[in-house]
Amino acid sequence: MTEATSFPMANGLSEHAAGAGTPPRGGRAWKFGDHVDTDAIIPARHCNTADPRALAAHCMEDADPGFAAAVRPGDVIVGGVNFGCGSSREVAPIAIKAAGVSAVIAASFARIFFRNAINLGLPILECPAAAAAIDAGHIVEVTPATGAIFDRTTGETYQAEPFPDFLMQIIAAGGLLNYAQARLTERR
Amino acid sequence: MGQNIAEKILAAHAGRVSVRPGEFLNASVDLVLASELSGVVALREFERIEGARIFDPDKVVFVFDHFTPNKDIASAEIVRECRAFALRTGIRYYDVGRAGIQHVLLPEQGLVSPGDIVAGADSHTCTYGALGAFGTGVGSTDAAVAMALGELWLRVPESIKVVYHGHLRPWVTAKDVIIHTIGILGVDGARYQAIEFAGEAIQAIDMAGRLTMANMAIEAGAKTGLIAPDDITRAFVEKAGGRLDRLYASDPDAEYARVIDVDVSDLEPMVAIPYLPENAREASTLGDVTIDQVVIGMCTNGNLADLRQAAAVLAGHKVHPRVRTIIIPGSQAVYLAALREGLIETFVEANCVVSTPTCGPCLGGHMGVLASGERCVSTSNRNFHGRMGHIDSQVYLASPAVAAAAAIAGRIVPPDAIDMVDETAFVAAKEPRHD
């Protein structure tokens, strides 16, 4: 049994995109356009809480009001350029993660959203070709550790930009908090 | 190889002689900042770090400004949690009555100095670039870790240098310059990069105007928007009580990803139309865009010079009967100075309301939320779908002068379309004053 099949996968996905000892994850693609801002991801009127479940209930509300009710665990968000632009609100990636989204694929990410996703361990994949070609409803599998993207609906595969080693350390630690914990221990 | 300002500041905070774009490093920070909304997430993350203590309570500041005075019970609970954390840990915090909007308050209080790195859990932390400080917006977990370790991970950005030439015409302000600039760069034109604002036209802009320009660097995707410290910076920082021991300037042979020259001599009053800040248009060309609300102030244009600009247009006029006009001074000190100068009286006589300092309406929080189909001219920095309220409302971004003119006319017009009662008030506002 491979490591990939030892993990339960949403929607009975194949092992196609597996690699580097981490299982693929995925589900249906939800397609959005360019410059999806954090007000669209989680409107400020719902930011008077830090409870992930409460935030998830309004995830993507101003971009697609039906999203929060219909999204299933494992589903994938596909955006265009500059995904997550606007405010620094970390509740944006928190809401996406709490909604069960397994990864965000985009042509490019706005910088604060990018660092928040790395820090929180929300898998993000920067891949213009995949972002352009994957349509709403396609079944998509991603392997965050390798950047492999597989569109099961079309059979196409894509490779996202690899992360620099520095960021891989944060990702491998399980997020910035664990990374910081190790640095704090190191200092003492 | 020469270094630019951004590289010099980052090198100095990473114990390095020099750094190159693309490198990752852990930089020490001089100030960690959060609002109540980002702070509550940050403090909960901080408390998950085993054995963590605040690295330096004088270098961590919470400013309760987004949904304050508390707009609802949920907001009140968040502020209470942040306040209790501040009292328990001894960090600085600014509450209603002493607070202001972060990016007006901190420079005014001398909490930001040239050469600093400020990690702010608010995207408009880039405002401090106006002082020659590397202010950059980060997330709440970043802030939590910076509170514990006094450091922030950063990728050294490439820099874009924008060199401004010429002289601004009457009624053309720093806000018009930055809207024009974002129109050139695009909303992701400086993504992952730093912007350096330079040239003789920048040197002629007062500190309030510089703060406006740097504030909107993030609207081009930038990490920060820096202006080299000069006499205007020195005078401002000295008065505020900040430090002047780290004034960095770019070397003549510093490297840039792009250098853009902009002649501002023919620039007209600008407006960024929905739904992106890059949609820069000349105010005179918009035709008959009727409006329902005007908001003047906030973090982008909430300094005294900004309010003077608006008052110069509004003096002797009444706001159009169909328009609500909300004035938001950026801090208690700005409010008091505006009161003493008679600006508040001018606003009230013109049928504006004057609010306590708050971010409220800019993000559709409170104090001026828009209904569906409503249109607002705002001196804030974002005009995304639904930014100030209903998803089908619209925001047009403009200077205080253009916003004030729109308030009177009931539609978007350039300021010189309004008969001025007291044009000298605006001339005074254009002098490099530092109060």
Tokens 């609010």: give the residue. B355
- Structure tokens, B32: 């960690």
| Cβ-defined contact of A48 to B74 (cutoff 8 Å) | yes
Based on the domain organization, do B328 and B183 belong to the same domain?
no
Per-residue pLDDT at B354: 98
| Cβ-defined contact of A177 to B221 (cutoff 8 Å) | no
| Cβ-defined contact of A112 to B78 (cutoff 8 Å) | no
C-alpha–C-alpha distance, residues B22 and B15, integer Å: 17
Interchain contact A168–B (C-beta under 8 A): no
> B361 with B388: CB under 8 angstroms?
yes
Say if residue A68 is exposed, middle or buried (CB neighbours under 10 Å; 0-12, 13-18, 19+).
middle
Please say if the pLDDT value at position B249 is more than 70: yes
Q: Does A145 map to a domain?
A: yes
Residue-number span of the structural domain to which B39 is assigned: 7-243+251-262
Interchain contact A86–B (C-beta under 8 A): yes
B217 to chain A: closest CA residue? A86
Interchain contact A89–B (C-beta under 8 A): yes
- Quick one: angle between helices B332-341 and B304-314, nearest 10? 40
At which of B231, B262, B293 does a domain end? B262
Residue-number span of the structural domain to which A143 is assigned: 20-162
Based on the domain organization, do B54 and B154 belong to the same domain?
yes
- Quick one: angle between helices B400-409 and B304-314, nearest 10? 30
Which of A62, A90, A180 has its CB closest to that of B140?
Answer: A90
Instruction: Name the helix (H) or strand (E) containing B201.
Output: helix B200-203
Interchain contact A183–B (C-beta under 8 A): yes
What's the ipTM? 0.93
* B111: CATH: 3.30.499.10
Number of domains in chain A: 1
C-alpha–C-alpha distance, residues A109 and A134, integer Å: 17
Q: What is the pLDDT of residues B378-430, one digit of tens each?
A: 999 999 999 999 999 999 999 999 999 999 999 999 999 998 755 555 444 44
Interchain contact A85–B (C-beta under 8 A): yes
**Average pLDDT of chain B, as a whole number:** 96
DSSP letter for each residue of B123-177 = GGGGGGGGGT-EEEE--HHHHHHHHHHSEEEEEPPPEEEEEEES-PPTT--HHHH
Minimum distance, in Å, between the CA of residue A117 and any CA atom of chain B: 9
Contacts of A166 (CB under 8 A, 6+ apart): B24, B153
Q: Does A11 map to a domain?
A: no
Minimum distance, in Å, between the CA of residue A35 and any CA atom of chain B: 8
Q: Which residues of A touch B52 (CB under 8 A)?
A: 184
Q: What is the pLDDT of residues B301-334, one digit of tens each?
A: 999 999 999 999 999 999 999 999 999 999 999 9
Q: Does B434 map to a domain?
A: no
The region, left, alpha or beta by phi > 0 then psi within -120 to 50, assigned to residue B199 is: left
> A154 with A138: CB under 8 angstroms?
yes
Q: Does B89 map to a domain?
A: yes
B216 to chain A: closest CA residue? A86
| Cβ-defined contact of B139 to A184 (cutoff 8 Å) | no
C-alpha–C-alpha distance, residues B218 and B187, integer Å: 8
| Cβ-defined contact of A111 to B148 (cutoff 8 Å) | no
B146 to chain A: closest CA residue? A180
DSSP β-ladder status, A139-143 and A25-31: antiparallel
Which of A40, A112, A185 has its CB closest to that of B123?
Answer: A112
Disruptive mutation site among B20, B36, B40, B45 for chain A (greatest number of A CBs within 10 Å)? B45
Instruction: Give the sheet arrangement for strand B194-198, strand by strand.
Output: B224-226, B194-198, B159-165, B258-263
Which of A62, A93, A120 has its CB closest to that of B385?
Answer: A62
Q: Which residues of A touch B78 (CB under 8 A)?
A: 48-50
Tokens 């995207």: give the residue. B123
Higher-pLDDT residue of B432 and B200 is B200
Based on the domain organization, do B173 and B300 belong to the same domain?
no
C-alpha–C-alpha distance, residues B297 and B329, integer Å: 6
Q: Which residues of A touch B75 (CB under 8 A)?
A: 48
| Cβ-defined contact of B363 to A39 (cutoff 8 Å) | yes
Q: Does A83 map to a domain?
A: yes
Q: Does A175 map to a domain?
A: no
Q: Does A149 map to a domain?
A: yes
> If you average pLDDT over residues B76-99, what whole number do you get?
98
Based on the domain organization, do B300 and B235 belong to the same domain?
no
| Cβ-defined contact of A48 to B149 (cutoff 8 Å) | no
Q: Which residues of B touch A45 (CB under 8 A)?
A: 364-365
> B236 with B106: CB under 8 angstroms?
no
Based on the domain organization, do B160 and B279 belong to the same domain?
no
Q: Could you read off the pLDDT tens digit of each residue along chain A, which spans 188 residues?
A: 233 322 333 444 444 433 344 678 899 999 999 999 999 999 999 999 989 999 999 999 999 999 999 999 999 999 999 999 999 999 999 999 999 999 999 999 999 999 999 999 999 999 999 999 999 999 999 999 899 999 999 999 999 988 999 999 999 899 999 999 999 988 87
Based on the domain organization, do B131 and B258 belong to the same domain?
yes
Which of B145, B221, B391 has its CB closest to that of A82?
Answer: B221
Tokens 């604060």: give the residue. A112
Minimum distance, in Å, between the CA of residue B49 and any CA atom of chain A: 6
Q: Does A180 map to a domain?
A: no
C-alpha–C-alpha distance, residues A3 and A20, integer Å: 10
Beta-bridged to residue B26, according to DSSP, are B153
**CA distances for B188 relative to A34, A82, B192, angstroms:** 10, 6, 9
Per-residue pLDDT at A14: 44
Q: Does A76 map to a domain?
A: yes
Please say if the pLDDT value at position B259 is more than 80: yes
Based on the domain organization, do B213 and B294 belong to the same domain?
no
User: How many CA atoms does the CB half-sphere of B257 hold within 13 Å?
Assistant: 19
Which of A82, A115, A167 has its CB closest to that of B191?
Answer: A82
Give the residue among B306, B264, B298 at the shortest CA–CA distance from B404: B306
Q: Does B267 map to a domain?
A: no
Per-residue pLDDT at B419: 84
C-alpha–C-alpha distance, residues B6 and B29, integer Å: 14
Minimum distance, in Å, between the CA of residue A39 and any CA atom of chain B: 6
> If you average pLDDT over residues B90-109, what whole number do you get?
97
| Cβ-defined contact of B41 to A91 (cutoff 8 Å) | yes
* A51: CATH: 3.20.19.10
B124 to chain A: closest CA residue? A87
Q: Does A4 map to a domain?
A: no
DSSP β-ladder status, B293-297 and B324-328: parallel
Minimum distance, in Å, between the CA of residue B353 and any CA atom of chain A: 23
Interchain contact A98–B (C-beta under 8 A): no
Interchain contact A88–B (C-beta under 8 A): yes
C-alpha–C-alpha distance, residues B336 and B329, integer Å: 9
Which of B37, B188, B363 has its CB closest to that of A81?
Answer: B188
Based on the domain organization, do B91 and B196 belong to the same domain?
yes
Number of domains in chain B: 2
